[in-house]
Amino acid sequence: MYIAARPDPGRADRSGESFGLTHGFHPRALTPGDLCRKLVWLRLLPAGRRFFLFPILLAGLLSAFLGCERESLKLECTELGSGDLVFSELRGDQSGTDTWGQWIELYNTTAGEISLLGVTINLRKLDGSGERDIVVRDRTVSVYGQDYVVLGRQSGELPAHVDYGYEDDFSSDLYADAILQIYACEELVDQLVYHDLPSEGTLAFDGSLTLTAVSNDEEANWCVDATEPSAQDGGTTQVGLPGTPGEVNRPCN
């Protein structure tokens, strides 16, 4: 925002009025660039007038940097329809030694490949507290049709079972009871309400059922997968109960 009537640069006097500091001056109306220029001219004013104007400029400088609302940067996003991308498995904080880490698995219900650029996972506790957004900012992350993608609480080099690390957005443990929502271009794609995230293994959608945004709403269609690891899923090098990251879930039975 700028001062409604900017001073005439041709005026030769150096009064407070010529610098926009009287007649309705409001410090929030100045941009940081305006304030920097005015601080330079402030040195040319008589000492008495500098003493009067300096607190005003200082207040304006602070409000410009701390109090003004700034236009948010627009992030590229992938347009998705409702239910195109859904929650399929969650792995939270584990008891004992664990190297698999925490993660959120999503499933692409469509036949085509989906870019995850700009896809946002909003998570919050059931009482509404602890709300956070995990935003996929890597344009190379995608998921093929009717396939899975894993977002893990990691950063830097990722383990083989994780496709995108979200630790920079959310470094805390996944909540024991929470609401998760997938957004694409600010449109809701899927929602999951869950309770009692296990500390051993994963909370997984029943692999014997067809996974959709409707079927994963039913709490009865989810179960704990605490299957012991095998050599096939990296059990010889990893510690903990892995679940099935990036693969079809086991039947709940």
Long-range contacts of 160-166 (CB under 8 A, 24+ apart): 160/234, 161/100, 161/103, 161/234, 161/242, 161/245, 161/246, 162/101, 162/103, 162/245, 163/246, 164/116, 164/136, 164/138, 166/104, 166/121, 166/134
Q: Convert the pLDDT of each residue in 151-186 to its tens digit.
A: 999 999 999 999 999 999 999 999 999 999 999 999
Q: Which of 80, 110, 86 is nearest to 185 (CA)?
A: 80
Residue with tokens 């409707």: 214
Q: What is the CA angle 190-146-237, rounded to 5?
A: 95
Distance CA 88, CA 15 (A): 68
Q: Cβ(168)–Cβ(178) under 8 Å?
A: no
Structure confidence at residue 237 (pLDDT): 77
Phi and psi based region of residue 71 (left: phi greater than 0; alpha: psi -120 to 50; beta: remaining): beta
Name the residue ranges covered by the structural domains of the chain.
16-66, 85-233
The architecture CATH gives domain 85-233: Sandwich (2.60)
| Residues near 9 by beta carbon (within 8 Å), at least 6 away in sequence | none
pLDDT digits (tens, 9 = 90+) for 94-139: 998 999 999 999 999 999 999 999 999 999 999 999 999 999 999 9
- Pairing status of strand 142-143 against strand 148-152: unpaired
CB atoms within 10 A of CB 90: 22
Q: What is the pTM of this model?
A: 0.71
